[in-house]
Structure 1
Amino acid sequence: MPTRPLGRTGVNVSLVGLGGFHIAKPKDEQESIRLVRFAIDHGINFLDNCWDYNEGRSEELMGKALQDGYRQRAFLMTKLDGRTRAVAEAQLEQSLRRLRTDVIDLVQMHEIIRMSDPEQIYGPGGAMEALVAAKKAGKIRFIGFTGHKDPDIHLAMLQMAERQGVPLDTVQMPLNVMDPHYRSFEKKVLPVLTERGIGVLGMKPFASGEIMKTGAVSATDCLHYPMSLPTSVVITGCDTMGVLKQALRAAYTFQPLGSERVSAILARTAALGATGKHEQFKTTERFDGTTKNPHWLTTAKV
């Protein structure tokens, strides 16, 4: 399994990361545990999760899977929705219990999808106070944020972090073969992150399955494209052993795409990607969990 530096953290993470949402999809709990452990046994050390995924079940399943020595072999990340210090603190304590760990390697503010989010999180009594305090207390190691809506919102969050003097260790964002053509995180945010030494967490390489429906590119292309960018890790959801093995194969066989190959992929996806039709997380509220469940921002109840 190839590994890469996670920005300036001094930590190396696996080229591919295991998404946390999809591990709760199998009906059999033991199958979910098997997926997590198979991933770790085959070189994946970056594990993604979130306080709200599947009403907390994703964290609970991952916590069970990380027993018997697996926790020590994993770089564990989760996300919080709470926008105030009190709510973020309560959600963090829940995540620690569910994940059955005393320390979470990386905690990220989740769904930075509104222009009001940076001010709320960094303002007096905001959630960032909870993360900074938790880091000082040794409950978390690193701090970041994630979002999927608009690169300008990501830039606003980065500007706020710089103004407030609270350095971010990671940023998570969509990076895929459609992204360069519409509200591009690759074009607008990626250069800023690489310049500042912030770890780049690529997500939605398949745009929640929409890219494969077009027939424009192969599954391997979908993974190798963001892997060819200056990403630290490319996170992908795996709900079956077959999908997980496909992701592992893509990582094992990865060679950076040449300029001609990249040009060919972008030419095939240009018209398809021009309106954001196949990246519905940018253009609709379908994937906005905190929009559908606004109480996640203000309470510690999923």
Structure 2
Amino acid sequence: MNFKRIFLLLVPLIMFLGIGTMISNIQSDYADEVLEAHGLTNNTRYFRTDSDESISSFLRYLNKNYAHHQIQLHFDSNYEKKQVLVWTNHMVKSLPTETGRYFSPDDFKGKVSFAVLGPTAKINVLEVQNNKYVVLGRNYYSVIGTFKNYPQVEMDKYYLSTGVDQLTAQDQLRNYRIVIDSTPYVINKIAKHYHAKLHIPSFVQEHHRDRLSVLPNILMLVACVIIGILSNVVLAILMKRQARLTYLRGDLLRNWVINRSARTLMVEGVCAFLAYIFLRCHAFYSAYSSLSIALFIAWLMNVIAFCIMLYHLMRKDKKVVKTTRRI
């Protein structure tokens, strides 16, 4: 009996590890897509223009007419193929970095541009007193972060912030492919203003085709939850059988069941905590809160399943006893 209980207590531990692994896989897949998209969403479109207008003037136009709309821009250089200028008027989605950080809104407001590098970016980098700088001609850009390396994603580009008052905004729009992420209404209005035709980036088309790629991970996650619930149902049945062997009655039996149940559920809680510690050290999560919430919910579902089953068995026994006494 003890061997069976130990085995059934190991099942929740395996379940917690499985749930955490599936969540990590889902978030890693999503992170890969975000990296491939450079932080942009499926609304993203791009256009080209022959306008001699500067990037700085373009950004002033956006600030004047669309200050209350969330807009994010990537300027892909026609000449420096691995260079991307980034601008946004809102909080950008934080992309997974190996060191440092991704851009924040303040990086686009000042006069100084910053750089974020792909792990395989081939660019002239100068290191001075543990600080890295991208060197482009006579200009130096402080490196604030380096992306994580994902083999399936092209990561040999480097990203520079741009803003109205920054040096990177002095070039002309005609020298860039303008990638814009906002609402369809805003994107269409801007493209119309510049008499430009909108196109769908390849990463958006690929994401539309592969958007069900996370389905196997979701199904596995659900399977782990179901297995955990079933194991707790079996644990409740075994505990009820063990309670019969004690020949206890009344308050003694109730206290015995409560104590054993509390110990069992506490052990499962410890299993969930150990799984959290292990997964946090060995798996990728865009936010650790998602892991802790998922494990807590899974543990809570196990507790509910165990208590409901045990309560059902105890009531069933009471009815049998009452029926026997009447006879």
TM-score under structure 1 length normalisation: 0.22
More helix by share: 2
Relative contact order, higher structure (CA 8 A, sep 6+): 2
TM-score under structure 2 length normalisation: 0.21
Larger CA Rg, structure 1 vs 2: 2
